[in-house]
């Protein structure tokens, strides 16, 4: 997403909680800040993309005091509507919050084909969001965050179900190519494409976090079972979600 902005006319300052990840952007023309507060000082638009609610709260607590009136904060993290509204309460007067979590991984981010689920007034930041992909207006602040949890928890559950379907296919002696091809021409096509995707990087640990956000909403027995599957292989938590299929097949 940062590279998309650097390829445009926007002036970009970057900061990362892991400093070494920000350094390469200096060679691409970005300013690299030494702190989150330095990164946002004087900015018209601020974008946060962080791992979980705790990380977002921590970073917002650091940047809120220096956000200028009239600034727009776009939170692209997946943290759910509850945490998003907590962020809204942390912001100083005059700062506008938009939630815009994304559907898609690093491959779609590089192509500018992400789907952005936007809560709040999209108009002031529409041009920036268009750099990343297609923005869907979902309603008031928090609506995008809510829809992201709904969609991603269903996708993760679907990928997990594909893993179990492949266990059955293996037991029947069906060739994987045959099964995958059949899935691609069925109502399972989208989920199967994600289950066997290459070039994506959505760590299992983040998928587990997202499913946990869904579980907080009620008695979701399928989501609980999926979460248990996701966390059952601690050594694979940094692997892409697609690896869940192989982990289940090997179990």
DSSP 60-115: HHHHGGGPPTT-EEEE-S--HHHHHHHHHHHSPTT-EEEE--EES-HHHHHHT-EE
Cα gap 233→113, rounded to integer Å: 31
Cα gap 27→140, rounded to integer Å: 38
Q: Could you tell me if 99 and 141 are in contact, meaning their C-beta atoms sit under 8 angstroms apart?
A: yes
Q: Do 90 and 189 sit in the same domain of this protein? A: no
| Among candidate residues 106, 139, 172, the one where a domain is terminated | 139
Q: Which residue, 128, 150, 127, is CA-closest to 138?
A: 150
Cα gap 114→3, rounded to integer Å: 14
| Among candidate residues 139, 168, 192, the one where a domain is terminated | 139
Find the domain containing 69 and state its range.
2-139
Q: Do 157 and 132 sit in the same domain of this protein? A: no
Condensed to tens digits (0 to 9), the pLDDT of residues 122-160 reads 999 999 999 999 999 999 999 999 999 999 999 999 999
Neighbouring CB atoms inside 10 A of 169's CB total: 19
Q: Do 156 and 226 sit in the same domain of this protein? A: yes
Q: Which residue, 202, 251, 198, 197, is CA-closest to 228?
A: 251
Q: Could you tell me if 99 and 144 are in contact, meaning their C-beta atoms sit under 8 angstroms apart?
A: yes
Q: Do 46 and 128 sit in the same domain of this protein? A: yes
Q: 3-state DSSP call for residue 200?
A: coil
User: What CATH number has the domain bearing residue 103?
Assistant: 3.40.50.720
Q: Do 131 and 150 sit in the same domain of this protein? A: no
User: How many angstroms separate the Cα of 214 from the Cα of each of 54, 170, 187, 243?
Assistant: 16, 31, 24, 21
Q: Do 93 and 152 sit in the same domain of this protein? A: no
pLDDT of residue 251: 83
171 phi, psi to nearest 5 deg = -65, -35
Q: Do 111 and 188 sit in the same domain of this protein? A: no
Q: Do 154 and 128 sit in the same domain of this protein? A: no
| Among candidate residues 139, 161, 177, the one where a domain is terminated | 139
pLDDT of residue 99: 98
Residues of the chain falling short of pLDDT 50? none
Domain count, the chain: 2
Q: Do 106 and 160 sit in the same domain of this protein? A: no
User: What CATH number has the domain bearing residue 188?
Assistant: 1.10.1040.10
Q: Do 242 and 130 sit in the same domain of this protein? A: no
Q: Do 64 and 131 sit in the same domain of this protein? A: yes
Cα gap 126→128, rounded to integer Å: 5
Long-range Cβ pairs for the range 110-117 (8 Å, 24+): 110/3, 110/4, 112/4, 114/1, 116/76, 116/144, 117/143, 117/144, 117/145, 117/147, 117/148, 117/151
Whole-structure pTM value:
0.94
Q: Do 114 and 159 sit in the same domain of this protein? A: no
Q: Could you tell me if 145 and 81 are in contact, meaning their C-beta atoms sit under 8 angstroms apart?
A: yes
34 phi, psi to nearest 5 deg = -90, -10
pLDDT of residue 58: 97
């Amino acid at each position: 997403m940062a590279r998309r902005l650097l390829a445009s006319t926007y002036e970009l300052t970057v900061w990362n909680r892991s400093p070494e990840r920000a350094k390469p952007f200096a060679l691409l023309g970005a300013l690299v800040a030494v702190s989150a507060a330095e990164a946002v000082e004087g900015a018209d638009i601020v974008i946060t993309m962080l791992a979980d609610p705790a990380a977002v709260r921590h970073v917002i607590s650091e940047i809120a005091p220096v956000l200028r009136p009239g600034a727009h904060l776009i939170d692209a993290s997946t943290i759910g509507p509850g945490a998003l509204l907590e962020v809204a309460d942390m912001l100083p007067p005059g700062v506008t919050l938009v939630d815009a979590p994304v559907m898609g991984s690093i491959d779609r981010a590089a192509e500018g084909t992400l789907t952005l689920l936007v809560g709040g007034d999209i108009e002031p930041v529409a041009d920036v969001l268009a750099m990343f992909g297609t923005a869907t207006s979902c309603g008031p602040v928090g609506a995008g965050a809510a829809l992201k949890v709904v969609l991603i928890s269903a996708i993760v559950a679907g990928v997990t179900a594909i893993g179990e379907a492949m266990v059955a296919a293996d037991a029947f002696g069906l060739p994987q190519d045959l099964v995958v091809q059949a899935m691609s021409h069925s109502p399972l096509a989208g989920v199967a494409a994600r289950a066997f995707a290459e070039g994506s990087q959505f760590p299992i640990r983040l998928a587990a976090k997202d499913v946990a956000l869904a579980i907080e909403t009620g008695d979701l027995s399928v989501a609980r079972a999926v979460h248990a599957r996701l966390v059952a292989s601690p050594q694979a938590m940094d692997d892409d979600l697609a690896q869940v299929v192989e982990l289940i097949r090997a179990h």
